[in-house]
């Protein structure tokens, strides 16, 4: 019983620091969305706003994973799995971005806008 109390006292400061950091980052995210002079670029959502918001969310999720899920004390295999998951996520995002430059879709759009004539009549 004494060990569990000692463990809690040992981690109490780090849990409190992470809680305060999460509150601060949540307030910053909220301020970025509501305060006009903190808005990047023209009014409304822009890519810069999304990048800053996702960066803050990444920091917050890293804090939760490292401290509350105790991943900062794990062995190397967990980190290898996390790296593989991150690379898999990046590859899926790249496939999604490449779908915007699909030549088959461009041909279909051309076919639709020219009433079925893909070639010019000279």
Residue with tokens 């809690």: 8
Residue 95 covered by a domain = yes
Domain containing 69 equals 1-73
* pLDDT tens string 6-42: 667 777 888 899 999 999 999 998 888 888 887 777 7
* pLDDT tens string 26-36: 999 888 888 88
pTM of the full structure: 0.59
Asked if residue 63 and residue 4 are part of one domain, the reply reads: yes
pLDDT band at 1; cut points 50, 70, 90: very low
User: Is 122 a residue whose pLDDT tops 50?
Assistant: no
Residue 39 covered by a domain = yes
Residue 48 covered by a domain = yes
Is residue 40 within 8 Å of residue 46, measured between CB atoms? yes
Asked if residue 32 and residue 67 are part of one domain, the reply reads: yes
Put residue 110 in one of left, alpha, beta given phi > 0 → left and psi -120 to 50 → alpha. Answer: alpha
How many independent structural domains does the chain possess?
Answer: 2
């Amino acid at each position: 019983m004494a060990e569990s109390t000692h463990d809690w006292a040992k981690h109490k400061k780090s849990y409190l620091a992470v809680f305060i950091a999460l509150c601060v980052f949540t307030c910053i995210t909220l301020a970025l969305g509501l305060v006009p002079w903190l808005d990047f670029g023209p009014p409304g959502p822009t890519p810069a706003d999304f990048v800053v918001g996702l960066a803050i969310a990444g920091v917050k999720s890293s804090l939760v994973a490292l401290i509350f899920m105790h991943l900062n004390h794990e062995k190397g295999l967990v980190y290898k799995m996390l790296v593989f998951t991150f690379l898999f996520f990046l590859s899926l995002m790249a496939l999604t971005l490449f779908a915007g430059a699909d030549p088959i879709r461009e041909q279909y759009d051309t076919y639709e806008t020219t009433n079925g004539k893909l070639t010019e009549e000279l």
